[in-house]
Amino acid sequence: MEILASIPSPSKGELDLFGIPLRGYAFAIIIGVFVAVWIGGKRWVARGGKPGTVADIAVWAVPFGLVGGRLYHVITDNDLYFGEGRNWVDAFKIWEGGLGIWGAIALGALGAWIGCRRRGIPLPAWADAVAPGIALAQAIGRWGNWFNQELYGRSTDLPWALEITRSDGGRVPGTYHPTFLYESLWCIGVALLVIWADRRFKLGHGRAFALYVAAYCVGRGWIEYMRVDDVQLNDVLGLRFNVWTSIVVFVLAVVYMVVSARLRPGREEVVEPDRDAVSGASGDADAESDSDADANGEKVELSKDSGASETESADSDSDADVKDEAGSANKG
């Protein structure tokens, strides 16, 4: 069957921005991060949080996520960097592609936890706010794989087939399923699902984030099963390691949603306490405490003064009695 149409791949993986070369993969990641922070910030404020909080915590979450994503990719696809004829230095070339979402979520959550702890806000509430933004960030980031001619599926002659023109890294020129596009569209659907469900059911305590994770896993499972672009040395019982990971994480996310809904129904009433009000209340309490201390101090001083006056009066009476007795003795 003759191919009627196809998706062409870029001739190079770089963009020329005002004379400055920028890797397409890095550009897609950067745009995705900005979108996630922007949407997360709006959702956070709508829930009663303060502007800028999501961005402040993202300063912790994003670097941790990038490191975690790269570590997961290198560990699960280690033959790409440490196999025969490979250069281990390439493991550090993150701009050439290769971020594992599960590692990014795991270490990114650790960074977010540190940021939330510093701000005194609950991590689950913050995660709920940024969940749709993360899904859209993934949708944008997948186009970085298009620049690198990676993340494609089995050979096909469908009208939307992806053209692969490079022959390095084990690639074979031809037309394949654009699994990067499938996942990008799926992530957009996940974002819309989370937004709808959050408005409809008032999800809270991390359940919106868990829904994002579960829905993403469903798509990632079948999309990952189609892929043929990487060296498949990480298969377990006939399935790619990432497929098994999707299954396990999906189950954990669903269990969390069910248990959380029973233990903590509804949504958090306060996602970010007013630190100024708390400080003011603390200051008022301290002022009252100081006032009480001063009052008690005055009472003690008055008691001391009263005691001293009574002692002086008693001494005066005693002196008068002595004088009277001496006068009587002289008269006798």
pLDDT tens per residue across span 167-185? 887 789 999 999 999 999 9
3-state SS assignment for residue 303: helix
**Residue-averaged pLDDT of the chain:** 82
Strands (DSSP E) contained in the chain are: 6-7, 14-17, 20-23, 161-164, 174-176, 235-236, 239-240
* Exposed/middle/buried for residue 201 (C-beta within 10 Å: 0-12, 13-18, 19+): middle
pLDDT above 80 (res 330)? no
Cβ-count burial 320-329 (b if 16+ within 10 Å, e if not): eeeeeeeeee
pLDDT above 80 (res 2)? no
pLDDT above 80 (res 319)? no
**pLDDT value, residue 238:** 73
- Among 137, 138, 104, CA closest to 223: 138
213 Cβ neighbours under 8 A, 6+ residues apart: 105, 249, 250, 253
pLDDT above 70 (res 31)? yes
Asked if 8 contacts 18 with a C-beta cutoff of 8 angstroms, the reply is: no
The whole-number average pLDDT for the span 272-298 is 53
pLDDT above 50 (res 251)? yes
pLDDT tens per residue across span 151-161? 899 999 999 99
Torsion of CA 244, 245, 251, 256, to 10 degrees: 170
pLDDT tens per residue across span 50-59? 999 999 999 9
Q: What angle do CA 98, 104, 105 make, to 5 degrees?
A: 145
Q: What angle do CA 73, 107, 24 make, to 5 degrees?
A: 50
pLDDT tens per residue across span 99-155? 888 899 999 999 999 999 999 999 999 999 999 999 999 999 999 999 989 889 999
Q: Which residues are annotated as a binding site?
A: 142
**pLDDT value, residue 290:** 52
**pLDDT value, residue 240:** 80
pLDDT above 50 (res 41)? yes
The whole-number average pLDDT for the span 259-282 is 76
**Model confidence at 211, in pLDDT bands (50, 70, 90)?**
very high
How far apart CA 244 and CA 216 sit, in angstroms, is 14
Asked if 71 contacts 107 with a C-beta cutoff of 8 angstroms, the reply is: yes
Measured in degrees and rounded to the nearest 5, phi and psi for residue 109 equal -65, -35
**pLDDT value, residue 77:** 79
Q: How far apart are the first and last CA of the chain?
A: 150
How far apart CA 51 and CA 41 sit, in angstroms, is 7
**Model confidence at 279, in pLDDT bands (50, 70, 90)?**
very low
Lowest model confidence (mean pLDDT) among 110-114, 141-145, 247-251, 297-301: 297-301
Query: What proportion of the chain, given as a percentage, has pLDDT over 90?
Result: 53
pLDDT tens per residue across span 77-98? 787 788 777 888 888 888 777 8
Task: Tell which wins on pLDDT, 223 or 279.
Answer: 223
How far apart CA 130 and CA 49 sit, in angstroms, is 13
**pLDDT value, residue 65:** 95
**pLDDT value, residue 89:** 87
How far apart CA 178 and CA 246 sit, in angstroms, is 20
**Model confidence at 206, in pLDDT bands (50, 70, 90)?**
very high
**Model confidence at 70, in pLDDT bands (50, 70, 90)?**
very high
DSSP 73-84: HHHHTTHHHHST
pLDDT above 50 (res 165)? yes
How far apart CA 47 and CA 263 sit, in angstroms, is 21
- Residue 26: what residue type? A
**pLDDT value, residue 318:** 47
pLDDT above 50 (res 231)? no
Strands (DSSP E) contained in 83-230 are: 161-164, 174-176
**pLDDT value, residue 322:** 41
Which neighbouring-strand residues pair with 176?
155, 162
